[in-house]
Amino acid sequence: MSLHIEILISTMFKEDLSFLEPMFQHNDINDFDIIIVNQTTEDKFLTSENSKIKVINSLERGSPASRNLAIQNATKDICLMSDDDIVYQSNLLKTIEMAYANCPEASMISFEAIDEDGQLYTNYYPEGEHTKETLKRIYTWVITFRRSVFKEEQIYFNHYFGVGSVFKGVTEYVFLRNAYDKGLLMHHAAETIVMHPNESSGRRMGGDNAIYARAAMHQRFYGNLSYLWLVKYIFFLVRHRFIAFKEIIYKFSVGIKGIKMYKMLKSQGKIDELHEY
């Protein structure tokens, strides 16, 4: 029996479905059910007349809100997280079905992405069962999971980690660690399913948002060892010329602020709240 795959797309301010055409240029879009969460304003609603494409217009902001709204409205066997600027590679449906057939006990399977030059998007770990470390190489748009398991375990994106949130980064890792820490079997398949446009990893890593979010994330999972991590990370950024030597003190202060903000949200009992969207 074949699995029903549901693709959960987060987007903003769309008024027609033409953006789907390049995404599915190598696949038959009718092979999939699709949920589109369109974060927008009241004067720019998106509609769909295709019964397999469900549109949810939301006035909320932030990637966690968008992705959680999609997860909450999903109904099929396997969910595939997605953005609106990617291109799926050929045989997407078969690749996902085969991965779950080969690893039927897996609650989550990650895949791989290439960039615009056809190179692997990141240096993935070998195929196999995930660890806390291997999850750090996984971006949202290669994540699939069994909807029923994640729903039962109440696994959603953390409201405070993600674009448009307090901590603007490490979205995927916090989400996946939530599943990992609940003991779910999580597997990586060395199969390419998507092309994602190139981005400057150096600029991301040395940016204020990245330092702020990563420091908060380390406080979440490693407690006050986050301070030691922050020192090592700042000097890593300097050594690889992602930031200038003269920026050390400022960038360190950014990380300290991230740690303090996380501690405050935790002390207020807010950090793991499930928000209604």
User: What does the alpha-carbon distance between residue 1 and residue 14 come to, in Å, rounded to a whole number?
Assistant: 35
Q: How confident is the model at residue 202 (pLDDT cuts 50, 70, 90)?
A: very low
Q: Give one DSSP letter per residue of 45-81, joined into a string.
A: ------TTEEEEEE---SHHHHHHHHHHH--SSEEEE
pLDDT tens across 138-171, in order? 999 999 999 999 999 999 999 999 888 899 989 9
Q: Give this prediction's pTM.
A: 0.90
pLDDT at 277 (0 to 100): 57
Q: What is the pLDDT of residues 9-20, one digit of tens each?
A: 999 999 899 999
pLDDT at residue 199 in the model: 72
Give the tokens for residue 145: 């999971």
